[in-house]
Structure 1
């Protein structure tokens, strides 16, 4: 973890604040557009937030937090109690939403899902790519960075306030999409589901704050052999692999516990994992907060 000092808390839309976290011990770890960090809050909660500042700025990170009415304690604490000057620990950035090189881009941002898109758009424009942003929200007042984006990028940005203009026609956008363009989308589940239906899967990249609903076979118990220690852990049908490892005193990091942040990634040496995450584990890896085993035993690098 990296020590930072909360330098600025600024309202950027109705119910949304921007946090600027300055490194307390020198330059912060580098990052690229699409990355997120774990923020350790003083109320013992850890929450994941997309970085929405300038990747070239190694002195500070910027994130934005919407006050969720159904908050589990994270956004509520940020909005009601967090003050400048507070020392906060922040993880090294992780990126499950990498911006791939392309001559053209269509960026789709919905609500607070605009946060990873902001540095993506800046990077694409700086690289000379043709880039368009379609930004959707309930009203302009609730859409963070809307005025800033329009001021900087002009006609590249199309704002859709659904209380005035309705939702954009994704089918029409897909029909007009250049064969050279990549699509990047982050926002509420309904928007992401619509994007997956409308745009070519091989050129569409999506980041979810919540995992897509999927059905799996009933949980079965399995064994986990920790290769480096030689210990074998039993995972029962009613517990997660992460919990079983933690109970056996293996310090596996975790954040969302929903299979979308990637903090609990571990290496699989043998056996067949059942991937239940929402981001797509790399070969030979798995996210043990939600994923299980198709084989009776897994061997992992612990």
Structure 2
């Protein structure tokens, strides 16, 4: 429990550093845009690539592959429920893409992996990474398209303009992820200079992402970080609907007990760290994304206690 809380407090500390340095006028909107481009186009893709080739082995992946059905189906089911929720909850049309993405996708690496390891130990890492693969694939394909669709205040449209579809889907982070996946499956040699470069650059992802959140909070102003009905809807998706879907699917798709618990814990993580950056980059509502992220992290301090008593 203590380790879990310390992981969460480290995240808050880095957000506060970004906030404090913005208050000291070290950072401004130009710096936010520059750091966002650095993370989204260089650091995050290399981080994705490194995760795949360092944390998976070919034989291990093939052994675990049969368990991928449950997280994949659960994410699709949660996404469908998010669309229903948008109608029932009367989510503002210009926020629906961001809402559905945050409702469905969880923070599986920056927060999910250390928390899962703290709770279940090293043996849980392969199961956590299975969920991460499905979550990441959704987030950087359908999720990106949903976020981009909010710029016009319309729902996502799958037109047959293949260049536009490719531009949305072949984003740098997803390319890095799939390059790493293919590299691992083909068992290509690990080139030390490339690994070292990826580790140094990819290591910027978490601190810069958290700095940017603090910077956005400062630029937005605490008074504008709203706890409204739509933020509550996101929290329900993250902490109630998503893990409940995984639990119910466990009756239909039998998996080992530890695997199911890890999938449930991974599904019930806060909003993705990169949501405010992506919302800002694609012209969506970055204030809503930032508000949802901040409150999802704050509420997780209490939610994790409940989960540990119920599941563990």
TM-score between both structures, scaled by the size of structure 1: 0.24
TM-score between both structures, scaled by the size of structure 2: 0.23
- Greater gyration radius: 1
Of Structure 1 and Structure 2, the greater helix share is in 2
Q: More relative contact order in 1 or in 2 (CA 8 Å, sep 6+)?
A: 2
